Amino acid sequence: MSDNQLPDTGRAAGNAVAPPLSRRRFLSVAGLGAGAAAAGAGALRPGPAVAAGPDPNIVPVPAWSKTLGPGVNVNPYGKPSKFEKDVVRREVTWLTASSESSVSFTPLYALDGVITPNGLCFVRHHGGEAEIDPDKYRFMIHGMVDKELVFTLDDIKRMPGRVNRAYFLECAANSGMEWRGAQLNGCQFTHGMIHNVFYTGVPLRAFLDMAGVKPKGKWVLAEGADAAVMTRSIPIEKALDDCLVAFAMNGEALRPEQGYPVRLVVPGWEGNMWIKWLRRIKVGDQPWQQREETSKYTDLLADGRSRRFTFIMDAKSVVTSPSPQAPLRQKGPNVLTGIAWSGRGSIKRVDVSLDGGRNWTTARLEGPVMPMAMTRFYLDFDWAGQELMVQSRAMDDTGYVQPTKNELRAVRGTNSIYHNNGIQTWLVRSNGETENVEVG
Site for other proteins in 50-89 (CB under 8 A): none
Cα separation, 436 vs 245, in Å, equals: 38
When asked if residue 295 is in the footprint of other proteins (CB under 8 A), the reply is yes
Candidates 56-64, 142-150, 192-200, 373-381: pick the segment binding other proteins (CB under 8 A). 142-150
Cα separation, 366 vs 344, in Å, equals: 20
When asked if residue 184 is in the footprint of other proteins (CB under 8 A), the reply is yes
Report how far apart, in Å, the C-alpha atoms of 224 and of each of 197, 286, 294 are. Answer: 20, 20, 18
Nearer to other proteins, 67 or 431 (CB): 431
**Interface positions, 82-121, toward other proteins (CB under 8 A):** 90-94, 96-98, 100-101
Which of 39, 84, 118, 142: binder of other proteins (CB under 8 A)?
142
Please state the closest distance from residue 115 (CB atom) to other proteins, in A. Answer: 21
Nearer to other proteins, 28 or 306 (CB): 306
Nearer to other proteins, 115 or 225 (CB): 225
**Interface positions, 3-32, toward other proteins (CB under 8 A):** 3, 7
> Which residue from 236, 296, 288, 287 is spatially nearest to 266, judged by alpha carbons?
236
Which of 129, 257, 314, 382: binder of other proteins (CB under 8 A)?
314
Label residue 211 left, alpha or beta by phi (over 0 means left) and psi (-120 to 50 means alpha): alpha
> Which residue from 105, 95, 104, 153 is spatially nearest to 128, judged by alpha carbons?
104
Which of 186, 338, 367, 368: binder of other proteins (CB under 8 A)?
186
When asked if residue 320 is in the footprint of other proteins (CB under 8 A), the reply is no
Nearer to other proteins, 118 or 400 (CB): 400
When asked if residue 176 is in the footprint of other proteins (CB under 8 A), the reply is no
**Interface positions, 356-385, toward other proteins (CB under 8 A):** 356-360, 385
Contacts of 12 (CB under 8 A, 6+ apart): 18, 382, 383, 384
**Beta pairing partners, 333:** 382
Candidates 25-33, 72-80, 249-257, 276-284: pick the segment binding other proteins (CB under 8 A). 276-284
> Which residue from 44, 41, 34, 196 is spatially nearest to 111, judged by alpha carbons?
41
Angle at 374 between CA 422 and CA 31, to 5 degrees: 135
DSSP 40-60: -PPPPPP--SS-SS--TTTSS
